[in-house]
Amino acid sequence: MTLDKAYFDYPHRSYGMDHDRYDWSMLNDRKPVEWPEGKKLALWVNVPLQFFPLNQKGDPFKVPGGMTMPYPDLRHFSLRQYGNRIGIYRFLKAFDQYGVKPTFAMNTRLAETNPYLLNRIVERGDEIACHGYHMDAIHWNGLGNDVENELIKTSLDSLRKLTGQEIKGWLSPAKNESDHTPDLLAAHGIEYFSDWVNDDMPYQFRTSNGELTAMPLTTETEDHFVINGNKHSEDSWVEQVCDAADFLRKEADTQGGRILALNIHPWLMGQPHRIAKLEKALEYITQIDGAWPAYAGEIRNNWISQQ
């Protein structure tokens, strides 16, 4: 019950962060960036294309959105596949209608088992990032360095081969990491990752294999967080996205280019009763004066060229 003396040691109580991954810096102190052609608000629409295995291990936790029922949890398995069969095609129509440039964060296992969908995405020429091997392949310290290294290598090698793209971006399943995930990602040619939601702009993140760019894929306005997690209505989600876009657009007038990052799941917003709400949000944000629809890697490269 009582606490030993170590509970009153504060080994990192000094300037900056309590770890050495990045420097402490406040957003408004940084040099403003300018997006191409004087654009003000980059629109990063990020679409996870996910495979949730029926035989989920749930190690070290059940991935959000994964199986929750005793095996075989057909209801969640099939509802997630709905996104890859139906929802995604509604998304593609909407993206084309509103001029969105989607970045697809794809589980490698899905690419391996769904050649039609893979080819459809590849032929579009949109940017593909790796979303780990599948949704139950969670990166955490319990894997050990060798196993995690092999997991990352397999995920990237296979996805690169299947897509023909270099694959420079990464999003961990559940945005979960081990202490070494960033080091391993950098070793395997990743340039940006989107697991750390601690900023509204990119920043450089130190690893033992050089720097990565941390890209700001906020969780707070993603469909799963707002609609499934907070139980807000679809109309409220649209309102929140549009309010966020307005706020960031206005901030860009005085503080330089901003990014509206929208993470949306085909199995959620691709439902018949929700797709019109997504369309409404996309219509609004793409019509904002100074909006710049762009791929995550494009935003990253443009940002880094100004640092």
Partner 1 sequence: MKEDPGYFDYWPYENRPKIEWPNGAKVAFWVAPNIEYYELNPPANSQRAPWPTPAPSLPGYTVRDWGNRVGHVRQMELLDKYGIRGSISLSTALCDHHPEIIELCKERDWEFFSHGIYNTRYTYGMTEDQERDMIRDSMETIHKHTGQKCAGYLAPALSHSDNTLDLFAEVGTELFGDEGGIYTCDLFHDDQPTPIHLRSKKKFVSVPYSLEMNDTIAYVVNKIEPRRYGQQIKENFDRLYAEGAESGTIMCIPTHNYQVSYPHRMKAFEEALDYITSHDDVWVTTGREIAEFFLDNYYDASIADISSKQRTA
Q: Which residues bind partner 1 (CB under 8 A)?
A: 1-3, 6-10, 12-19, 24-29, 60-61, 140-142, 175-179, 195-200, 218-221, 229-233, 236, 239-241, 243-248, 251, 260
Closest distance to partner 1 from the beta carbon of 37 (Å): 23
Burial environment of residue 239 by CB neighbours within 10 A (0 to 12, 13 to 18, 19 or more): middle
Closest distance to partner 1 from the beta carbon of 87 (Å): 23
Secondary structure class of 67 (helix, strand, coil): coil
Residues whose CB is less than 8 angstroms from the CB of residue 4 and which lie 6 or more positions away in sequence, other chains included: none
CA 230 to chain centre: 19
The closest alpha carbon to 93, from 269, 284, 290, 263, belongs to 269
Closest distance to partner 1 from the beta carbon of 195 (Å): 6
- Closer residue to partner 1, CB minimum distance, 25 or 287: 25
At residue 115's C-alpha, the angle toward residues 53 and 171, to 5°, is: 55
- Answer yes or no: are the C-beta atoms of 297 and 130 closer than 8 Å: no
Closest distance to partner 1 from the beta carbon of 112 (Å): 27
- Closer residue to partner 1, CB minimum distance, 158 or 176: 176
The closest alpha carbon to 192, from 229, 173, 217, belongs to 217
The closest alpha carbon to 214, from 177, 241, 264, 265, belongs to 177
DSSP state, 72?
Answer: P
Closest distance to partner 1 from the beta carbon of 67 (Å): 18
d(CA 144, CA 148) in angstroms, rounded, equals 6
- Closer residue to partner 1, CB minimum distance, 26 or 272: 26
Residues whose CB is less than 8 angstroms from the CB of residue 274 and which lie 6 or more positions away in sequence, other chains included: 227, 234, 268
- Closer residue to partner 1, CB minimum distance, 105 or 117: 105
- Closer residue to partner 1, CB minimum distance, 2 or 305: 2
Residue at token pair 């032929």: 123
- Closer residue to partner 1, CB minimum distance, 110 or 137: 137
Secondary structure class of 129 (helix, strand, coil): strand
Closest distance to partner 1 from the beta carbon of 294 (Å): 18
- Closer residue to partner 1, CB minimum distance, 187 or 242: 242
d(CA 279, CA 260) in angstroms, rounded, equals 16
Closest distance to partner 1 from the beta carbon of 90 (Å): 24
